[in-house]
Every structure is written in C-alpha cells, then in structure tokens.
C-alpha cells in the first residue's frame, strides 16, 4: 500500500510563484488545487485553493445527513455506506470534523 503523497509543481517568475497542488492521504482524503504567492527572501508566502472540499469531507457530510435523517440504524452501517472499512476510523474522523461522535447524533 502506498503512503501519503503531496505533489507540488511550482513555477517562479520574478518573485511570483504558482503551480498545481495535489494530495492523497492513504484511506482518508485526496484533492487537487492551485497554489499562488510570492517569494520573500527564502520564504514562500502563498494561498492555496482546492477543487472541492475533498473526498473525506464529502463522505463525512453524507454520514451526518444519514445520521440526522435516521436513514441508518448503526455506526457500522453508516461507516460502510459512506466508504469506510473501519467504524472506529470513521468515528474519529467524524468527531474531528463535527466535534461530536456519530453515536451522539444517532442517539439524539
């Protein structure tokens, strides 16, 4: 299995710097976007913009929708429906994004 990867190809014209940015976090998230900024000495000051919120964010938003609509009966079920192989990884990601465990939504 491959590890986490980040690809960044920068072009510099004078102090202006720009280029495509892509990342893949194993079993978590992937996305592409652009980075642009300026060099100030040996420091790059830049902004980045991604094409979407990323696969992880989309899956977690769908999971929240399923939990809030009571379309699932267990955490294992919602984790599987949004593409997680492991319910505990799903619960950790959900808590990091929304500040509560998925079981709190399911029980409320």
pLDDT tens per residue, range 36-53: 999 999 999 998 877 766
The string of DSSP letters for 17-79 reads EEEEEEEEETTTEEEEEEEEEEEETTEEEEEEEESSS-HHHHHHHHHHHHHHTT--SSHHHHH
> Do both 60 and 77 map to the same domain?
yes
Q: Which residue has the higher pLDDT, 60 or 53?
A: 60
> Do both 45 and 59 map to the same domain?
no
Query: For residue 88, what are the domain limits?
Result: 55-103
> Do both 59 and 35 map to the same domain?
no
> Do both 36 and 60 map to the same domain?
no
Residue 89 domain flag = yes
CA dihedral 80, 61, 3, 9 (to 10 degrees): 150
> Do both 60 and 99 map to the same domain?
yes
Give yes or no for residue 96 having a pLDDT over 60.
Answer: yes
- The domain total for the chain is 2
pLDDT digits (tens, 9 = 90+) for 2-25: 678 888 899 999 999 999 988 877
Residues of the chain with pLDDT > 70, as a percent, come to 91
Given a contact cutoff of 8 angstroms between Cβ atoms, the answer to whether 39 and 32 are in contact is: no
pLDDT of residue 1: 45
Give yes or no for residue 55 having a pLDDT over 80.
Answer: no
Radius of gyration of the chain (CA): 18
């Amino acid at each position: 299995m491959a590890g986490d990867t980040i690809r960044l190809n920068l072009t510099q014209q004078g102090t202006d710097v720009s280029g495509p940015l892509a990342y893949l976090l194993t079993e978590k998230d992937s996305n592409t976007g652009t980075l642009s900024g300026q060099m100030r000495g040996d420091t790059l000051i830049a902004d980045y913009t991604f094409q979407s919120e990323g696969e992880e964010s989309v899956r977690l938003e769908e999971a929240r929708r399923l939990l809030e609509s009571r379309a699932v009966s267990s955490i294992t079920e919602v984790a599987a429906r949004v593409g997680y192989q492991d319910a505990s990884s799903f619960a950790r990601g959900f808590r990091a994004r929304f500040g509560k465990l998925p079981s709190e939504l399911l029980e409320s």
